[in-house]
A and B are shown apart, each in its own frame.
Chain A
Amino acid sequence: MSRATVNFAHSRLAAAGGIAILLLVLASLFAPLLTPHDPDRQHLDGGIYLPPSVDHPLGTDKFGRDIFSRILYGGRVSLAIGFFAAAMSVTLGTLAGATAGYFRGVGEGVIMRVVDVLLAFPRLILLLALVALFHPSLVLLVVVLGLTGWMGTARIVRGEVLSLREREFILAGRALGFRAPRILFRHILPNVLGPVIVAATLSIGNTILIEASLSFLGLGVQPPMASWGSMINDGKEALTHAWWIATFPGLAVLVTVSCFNLVGDGMRDAFDPRFEP
């Protein structure tokens, strides 16, 4: 583990990404301290379509709302959806993959066929279909994103568990009378933690991107609540004369997703078994 930490620290890019994520999270949490404007407060009389200025560093939109404030507050929504949906999909994926890999048999066949089938659909199409069936809400978004994102983790975890279950310490544990659930949860899963954390990190970034796509299509976060995706949607008609409305939330998505990917890749290198002692 200590070697892994060292490798991770050496990857400066990953470290920079981690710091950027931390700043983003802090900024959106402490948004009221960073901006004097209410993100939903409209200024229809002369405050609309204002370009970036000292008072509105990123300009205002067609209702005269401050873009900077909306990015900070919208960040809460985007980050929270990304975090909770990723947590759900990684938990589901870990349980499914571990069950398939450890108990094998019919269950494994069923789980892995479901994975194959779900992976054969483009995720966005699947999401659109699911979201269209119900009344859009934050909880629905998280659940739907979680339900469509677990397959990659399941594959990774199953692979890891398949090789771990053949290791001698598992046989030794069975010889000591440990029952299957104990072996799986206490002896196998902690050994899979590295790949799972990597998958979770990459999954947060990916989920934020997909949430932005859904909200851009109007099927995600519903007004007046803002997420980065719905802000891009708001700004798309005004792109020619008020470029700042869509561009800055777009940049926020780009930077955030890149940072999560950098951290995820950095951790993947750090947990690489070739570097393990």
Chain B
Amino acid sequence: MPPLLDIEDLEVSFDVRGETIHAVDTVSLTVGEGEVVGLVGESGCGKSVTTLSVLRLLPRRTGRITGGAIRFGDDGIDLLALPEKEMNRIRGAKISMVFQEPMTALNPVLTCASQLDEVYRLHRGWKGATARAASIDLLAEVGIADPVATRRSYPHQLSGGMRQRVLLAMALACRPRLLIADEPTTALDATIQARILSLLSDVQRRHRMALLLISHDLGVVGALADRVAVMYAGEIVEEGPVSDVLVTPRHPYTRALLRALPVPGAGGGGMEPIEGNVPDGKAAGAMCRFAPRCTVARSECFRGHPVLLGRPGGGLCRCIPGVMNGDRR
């Protein structure tokens, strides 16, 4: 059986003031039925652009998908070739998305009720009492204590955590087969963050829904994901089972990310920020994109662009083989 989502050699660029930015470069990534895949990497490495491409939501005037295919579902239709009308039947129904900012992702002038019911009306044709009953159940399912009152509320009357639950409810309304969550808890404070994550994990398991979880928090990904992909400068640099990639990382960038994590109980200690900035990958030319910041770089790292190769323990790694097999953390 083919994977539920199969991103193959995706290339995305932006045209900004006559310049072309290569935000995503030949990214391949799969998410199986009911699987949880984490996508990690520093700010600006192309995580959001990759996932926005799946729903074809890139900014219309500047963003361009220049190559690749995104196949979805049992018959593996290419989403990139679908007419906009067909695409709108997939968005919110088969593939849903929750965003980072619960404070701004709800329409401020509409009640939660009208926003929730709208999803049902659009995709299911349910109206009035049917939609109302369904959305009350849904709000209860995402852990809202008083669904009836919450339905009547305007977004500004709800806390950030409540709004994220409402947004999650809207995303789950049509029982999508794939949920894409782009940093769903980054904007929330720590205790709420933990609750939303466990809720996410709950609904994922209950509905056997696939989840593509974007985060720059490796701890979050470690707790929820089956598989993880690490992105750097628009490309995947390491990918494999969570238990393997996060425990015995092979790529120097993944190792650096793990070293940048706060060590529990060390009072903020343990964090070693990675020096330098993420470059525009393609502009770097034929060399390892991480080389300027890599602590174990050698001269050959600047002479060729490493390809993704199988890594011990499963998955792939984009680093010159000699280097990644030596030097253990």
Contacts and interface: CB of A to CB of B under 8 A. Distances in A.
B122 A169 contact: no
Contacts of A176: 91-92, 96, 118-119, 122, 170-171
B97 interface: yes
Interface string B82-111: 000000111111001101010011111110
Interface in A175-195: 175-179, 182, 186-187, 190-191, 193
Nearest to A192: B109
A107 B312 CA distance: 56
B208 interface: no
A177 B167 contact: no
Contacts, number: 65
B162 to A, nearest CB: 16
Contacts of A167: 104
Interface residues of B, number: 28
Contact of B106 (A169, A190, A191, A277): A169
A174 interface: yes
A80 B170 CA distance: 45
B57 interface: yes
A56 to B, nearest CB: 52
B101 A168 contact: yes
Given A168-B101, A168-B104, A191-B107, A175 B61 contact: no
Given A104-B61, A171-B57, A177 B122 contact: yes
Contact of B89 (A174, A175, A177, A277): A177
Contacts of A173: 107
A191 B109 contact: yes
A174 B93 CA distance: 12
A193 B97 CA distance: 28
A247 B37 CA distance: 79
Contact of A179 (B88, B101, B108): B88
Contact of A175 (B97, B106, B109, B123): B97
A273 to B, nearest CB: 11
Given A178-B118, A186-B118, A187-B107, 11 more contacts: A167-B104, A168-B101, A168-B105, A169-B108, A172-B97, A172-B170, A175-B91, A175-B92, A176-B91, A177-B89, A191-B107
Interface of B: 55, 57, 61, 88-93, 96-97, 99, 101, 104-110, 118-119, 122-123, 156, 167, 170-171
Interface of A: 104, 167-169, 171-179, 182, 186-187, 190-191, 193, 277
